[in-house]
Amino acid sequence: MASRYINPFTDFGFKRLFGEEVNKDLLIDFLNGLLPEHHKIKDLTYSRNEHLGDLSIDRRAVFDIYCQSLNGDRFIVELQKAKQNFFKDRSVYYATFPIREQAERGDWNFELKAVYCVGILDFVFEEDAHNPDYLHTVQLKNKLNQVFYDKLSFIYIEMPKFNKTDDELETGFDRWLFFIKNLENFNYIPDRLRNKIFEKAFQAAEIAKFDPNQLQAYESSLKYYRDIKNVVDTSFEEGKLEGIEEGMMKAKIEIAKQLLLAGTTVNQVSTLTGLTIQELEGLN
C-alpha cells in the first residue's frame, strides 16, 4: 500500500519539512529541542546552502539547510542517509565556513557567534554501535572535561537507535524523533502528536497534496535515497571501506543518468545528487 506521508530521509522530504520559509516554525521547534536556553531561537532566516572556499580551486561545501537566528548564531542541519568515510572530518570542515564568514574587514575583535552543526543520521557510528545513546553533543573541552568553548557544537542523532514507542515519549524532542523515524509508516496522526506544530508537519508531508511537479520530484528523491543507501550500506557490509567514496560517486552518476532520462530537470537532479550543473552537463 502506498504511503500517505513522505519519507523524511529523502532530500525532498527533509527540505519540504524543514527547508522552506513557510515551514520554518517546524525547524525552529525542532532545533529548540536540542539547544541550551541561551541559544534558543525566536526566529531565523535561511541562508544560501552552497559555500565556496577562498580560492576558485577550493572544494565547495553544500549544506542541506543553513540558517541564522536573529542574533547571528549559525546552524547547519544535515541529513546523512548512509555511512561515509571521514564523515566526522567533513563535519569539522563544514563548520569552518560559518566561522570564516563572520570575519569583518578592518578593525575586528574576533568575537564570533555560535555555530551548531546538527547531523540527523540514518546510520550508527561503528565505533559507537554498542552504546545505546542516540544523541551526541560534542564540544571543545579541556583535560578536566570542562567545556573550553561553548560556541562550536556538533550534535549527532543516530536515528536507528531511537526506538521509543508513543507511550514512552517524554519531551517535545522525543516527539520530533518519533515523527521523523515513523512518518512514512503513519496512516493517521497519533494522539501524542496532536498539537499545532505536528499537525502542520503532517499537512506538509501529505503526498496527496502535492502537485504533479512536486510528486515527480519526490518520487525521484525517494528512488535516489533507496539506491544510494543500498549501494553504500552493501559496501560497508562487505568490508569495502576503501571504495565507498568511489562507489558513491559512481552510484550518483548512474542515478543522475536515470533521472535525466526520466525527464527530471537538471536543477532537480543537481539538488538530489549533489552533482554540479557542469558535472551533469558532462554526462550528455
Residues 211-233: pLDDT tens digits?
Answer: 998 998 899 889 888 887 777 66
* Digit-coded pLDDT (tens) for 13-56: 999 999 999 999 999 999 999 999 999 999 999 987 665 555 44
Residue 207 near residue 69, CB atoms below 8 Å: no
User: Higher pLDDT residue, 278 or 149?
Assistant: 149
Position 148 scores a pLDDT of: 96
Q: Which residues are 141's β-sheet partners?
A: 147
CA dihedral 249, 254, 255, 261 (to 10 degrees): 140
Break the chain into its structural domains and give their ranges.
Answer: 11-208, 210-284
Q: How far apart are the C-alpha atoms of 40 and 2, rounded to whole Å?
A: 38
Distance of CA 61 to the CA centre of its chain: 13
Q: Which of 81-95, 122-136, 226-240 has the lowest mean pLDDT?
A: 226-240
Calculate mean pLDDT across residues 233-244: 59
The structure's pTM equals: 0.82
**Residue 147 cell numbers, joined:** 567545556
The helix (H) or strand (E) run that includes residue 279 is helix 277-281
Distances (CA, A) of 199 to 20, 23, 192, 205: 16, 12, 11, 10
Residue 202 C-alpha from the chain's centroid: 19
Q: How does pLDDT run across 184-199, given as a tens digit for each residue?
A: 999 999 999 999 999 9
